[in-house]
Amino acid sequence: MRFKQSMRAIQGAVIVASFFQMILGFLGFVRIFGRFLSPLSAVPLVTLTGLGFFVFGFPQLANCVEVGLPALIILVFLSQYTMKLKLPIFHRFAVLFSVAIVWVYAEILTAAGAYDKRSPITQRSCRTDRSGLVSSARWIRVPYPFQWGRPDFNAGDAFSMMAAAFVAIVESTGTFIAASRYGSATPLPPSVLSRGIGWQGINTFLDGIFGTLTGSTASVENAGLLGLTHIGSRRVIQISAGFMLFFSVLGKFGAVLASIPLPIVAALFCVLYAYVASAGLGLLQFCNLNSYRSKFIVGFALFMGLSVPQYFNEYLATSGHGPVHTGSTWFNNIVQVIFSSPATVAIIIAFFLDLTVSRQHSATRRDSGRHWWAKFRNFDSDTRSEEFYSLPYNLNRHFPSV
C-alpha cells in the first residue's frame, strides 16, 4: 500500500513537471536561451554532460573487475584497433560483440560457482542469475494509464520534480549538441532546440500517465554511440524504439537483458560518456584560446561544475541533508537537485560570464565563437563543417536524408 501511495505521488509530480517542460519548450523560452548560447559557454555544458556521470564508469566497473575490465578492453580494441582491418562490422557493432562475449564469459563464471562463496556485494555485481529476474518476470505485461491509481498532486513534490525537469532540460541540451556534432548535422537552431524540449515534456507527461517513476530525457549514451559507430541514421533510432517496445511488453526478454552484470554496462559508459565529453572539448576549436577571457570562463566553469556538486553530494552523504536546510523541504530539494548536477552548475556559470564579462568590446564577443555557428548553417561555408564526413565507415554517406 505504501508503495502505491508513493507511486501516485510521484505520478502527480511528474505530470506537473511535464507541463513545466512543455511551457519552456513550446512557448519559446528555451529558444531565447539558445539564441545567446555560444560555443564558449557550450564547452562546459557538453563536456560535463559526459564527465558528470563518471561515478557510473570505472567505480561501477571495479565492483567486478574480472568481468568489467575485459569488457572495456574488448570494446576499445574492437572500436579502435579493427578499423585498419577494413572490416567495418567490428567497428559498427563493437558494443554488441563486446557485451555478448563478456556476457557469455560471466555466465560461465557464474555456472562454475566462481562467486558462490564471495561477499553479497560481489555476487550482486558479478552474477548473471541475481535476484531471480528471469523467473519472476511475466511473459507478457502491457502497461496501461494510471496503473497505480489516481495520481496525487502535492505542491512540494511538484516543485521538487520541476527542479529535476530543469536539470533534465540542461543535460538534454548538452546531449543534443553532442548528437548534432556526431551526426554530421549543422549546429542546433534555437527553434529546433526549443521544440525538442517541448516534445520531451510530452514524453514526460506520458511517463506520468503510465507511472514509469521517472521522466524522459535525452540519452547521453546514444549520443556517445553516434561517435563510436559513426552512424547517424534516424532509421536506426526507429528500429531501436521498436525493440524497446518489444522488450517492455514481453517481460521475460526484458529480464534477460536486465540480468547483464552492471560492470559490463559500466564498461560501455566509460567509452560512451567519454565521447560526449570529447564532443564538448571539440567546440573549443571555434573559440579564441589565446584570450584570457575564454580561458577563465572555460576553466572556471569546468572546475566549479565538478567542485560544487561534489560538495553538495558529500554534505548529503555525511549529514543526511543538503547544505541548504531550511524549514521548506521543497526548497531544500530544489537547491540540492540543481547544484548536484555538474552540467547545470557549469552552464549557469559559463552562460552568465559569457554574457557579462567584457561584452562591450566587439573583439571579446567574437572570442566566444558564435559567428562560427552562424557560418555553419550551411556545410560548404567552412571546411571544418565537413569534418565528420571524412570519418571512415560513416553511414551518413548512404543516408542523405539524415
Is the residue at 382 inside a domain?
Answer: no
Residues 232-249 as b or e (16 or more Cβ within 10 Å = b): bbeebeeeeeeeeeebee
Owning domain of residue 52: 2-131+162-359
Is the residue at 100 inside a domain?
Answer: yes
Is the residue at 63 inside a domain?
Answer: yes
Write down the H helix ranges in 127-154: 133-136
Banded model confidence at residue 256, pLDDT cuts 50, 70, 90: confident
pLDDT tens-digit series, residues 154-209: 999 999 999 999 999 999 999 999 999 888 778 888 999 999 999 999 999 999 99
Q: How many CB atoms lie within 10 A of CB 360?
A: 6
Is the residue at 119 inside a domain?
Answer: yes
217 pLDDT higher than 50: yes
Is the residue at 145 inside a domain?
Answer: no
**H/E segment holding residue 172:** helix 155-182
- What's the average model confidence in pLDDT over 110-121? 86
Is the residue at 401 inside a domain?
Answer: no
Banded model confidence at residue 131, pLDDT cuts 50, 70, 90: low
Is the residue at 139 inside a domain?
Answer: no
Number of domains in the chain: 1
Task: Please tell me which residue, 77 or 358, carries the higher pLDDT value.
Answer: 77
Contact 123, 115 (CB under 8 A): yes
pLDDT tens-digit series, residues 377-397: 554 554 544 544 444 434 443
Give the separation between CA 314 and CA 55, rounded to whole angstroms: 13
Is the residue at 138 inside a domain?
Answer: no
